[in-house]
Amino acid sequence: MDWFGRAKITFTSSSDTIPLESKDGSATNLRTVCEEATPPCQLNPLLFNGHLQTMWTAVAKAAPQVYYRRKIFDANHKTYTGTFAVDFVVDPHEDADETLPPRTAYYSEEEFAQMGSDDSRPMLIVLHGLSGGSHEVYLRHAIQPLLEDDEDWAVCVVNSRGCANSEITTGVLFNARATWDVRQIVQWARKTFPNRPLFGLGFSLGANIITNYVAEEGANCSLKGCIAVGNPFNLEASSKALKRTLLGKEVYQRVMGTNMKKLIAMHKDAVLKHTNLDYERIQNVTYLYEFDRAVQCETWGYPTEDAYYRDASTADAVMAIRVPFFAISAADDPIAVDEAVPYEEIKQNPYAVLCSTSLGGHLSWFEIGGGRWHAKPISNFLKSMVNDINLDSIQPVQKNGNMHNDIKAKTRFNPVRRRLDIIDKDD
C-alpha cells in the first residue's frame, strides 16, 4: 500500500518524444510538458485501493456547477445516420429544461446560428464514459479549472447517442469505435471557429473512442492535442480480467450491464421502431459482455463480443496518433485494468506519453476533502499547450517505431486496421 495515500507516478513514452517550441523560443518536448503538468498525487488515505476509490463515486456526488445549452445535430454521414446531442458550456442560467440533465437547456435556433466566431480562444471537445453524459461528476471536476482560466476556454461535450436524455432516432447506436459523431463536431468546430486551437478529452469508453478518432485521422487530425483518461485500451483483455474475479464480474460487469440495460429501456419505443434488436433478450442480460453480445454484435455484425472488443480496441491504434497525446491511467483501476495498457506500443510513438499512478481507481482519484486529482494534470497540460507552446511548431516525425520509412520487411503493420498489409514490390 502506498504510504498515507501518496501514489507513485510513472511515465511511459519513447526515448525521444516530439520536440516542442516554447513561445519564448526555448526548446522542450512532449514528455517534459506532460511531466511538468503532473503534480504529486496525494489521495484520500481511507480510500487506499482501486476498489474503494471506484466505489466511492457512488457516494461522492458533489461537483462544480456547470451549465450547458444543447444542440441536436443531424449526422452528416451517409451510413451512420441519425441525430446526436452536444452540450456547450455556457454562463449560468435559470431556464433549465426538466427533460434534460441538471442545468441544461436547449439553444434556440437563433442563438445557435450566431455562434460562429473568428476569435482564437481555445476549445475543448469532451467525450464521457459508458452510459454517461455531460452531467457526470468526474467530467465537471475536470473542466471546471479551464472555465476559471484567463484564456476563456470554450468547452462542449459530445453525448453518445441515447445518453444524457438524448433521443435515439435511427438504428445507428454508439459503440467503442463510434468515431463518426466526434469527427463531425471537430469538422464543424474547425469551420465555425477557424482560428480556435481545438483539443480533445475522453474518459473511459470516451477515451477509447477519442483515441480511435485521433488514430484514424493521423497527420490530418485537426486537434492540437488530446487527453485520454482511464482508457481501457485492450477491451478484450479488460473484459476477461473483469470476468476472472468475483468483484469484477458481480460488481463491475453487473453494474455496467444494468446501466446499459436501463439505457435501452429508456428508449424502448425507439429501439423497437428503428432496430431489429430482441428487446426482451436485452432486458434479461446481467453482465456487460452479455449486453454487448445482444446489442453490439447484432447491430454491427460482429460474430462474438470478443471480436467486437478486438476491433474497437486502441492498444494498437495509439501507434498511429500524430498529435500530442497524453494518457492518464491508474494502475489499480479495476475496470480499465493495467494489464490492458499498451506500454510497449506507447513507447513506439513519439507523439504519446502515458502517466500512470499507483492509486486512483477508475476515473476516481479522490483527494482529502473531496477534490479529484485527475483535474490537475488535465487542466495543467491543456493550459500549458495553449499558454506556453507554439502550436504551429509541431512538425510530423518521419520515423516511428514499426512505421519507419526504410522498413525492409515485406509486410507493414497498419495500427488502425489492426492487420498486416502486403507491400507491393514497387512500394
Determine the 3-state secondary structure of 352 from DSSP: strand
Q: Which of 333, 338, 356, 374 is catalytic?
A: 333
Q: Which of 204, 238, 329, 356 is catalytic?
A: 204
The residue behind cell 482501486 is: 50
**Phi and psi angles of residue 336, each rounded to the nearest 5 degrees, phi first:** -90, 80
Q: Which of 135, 141, 267, 362 is catalytic?
A: 362
Cα-based angle 320, 351, 24 (whole degrees, multiple of 5): 150
Clarify whether 93 is annotated catalytic. no
Clarify whether 26 is annotated catalytic. no
Closest CA to 257 of 415, 76, 129, 130: 130
Please give the full DSSP string across 10-33, using - where no structure is assigned: EEEE-TTPPEEEBTTS-EEEHHHH
Cell of 281: 433478450
> How far apart (Å, rounded) are the C-alpha atoms in residues 195 and 362?
35
Is 66 in contact with 137 (CB distance < 8 Å)?
Answer: no
CB hemisphere CA count around 321 (13 angstroms) = 36
Determine the 3-state secondary structure of 104 from DSSP: strand
Clarify whether 426 is annotated catalytic. no
> How far apart (Å, rounded) are the C-alpha atoms in residues 182 and 213?
8
Catalytic residues: 204, 333, 362
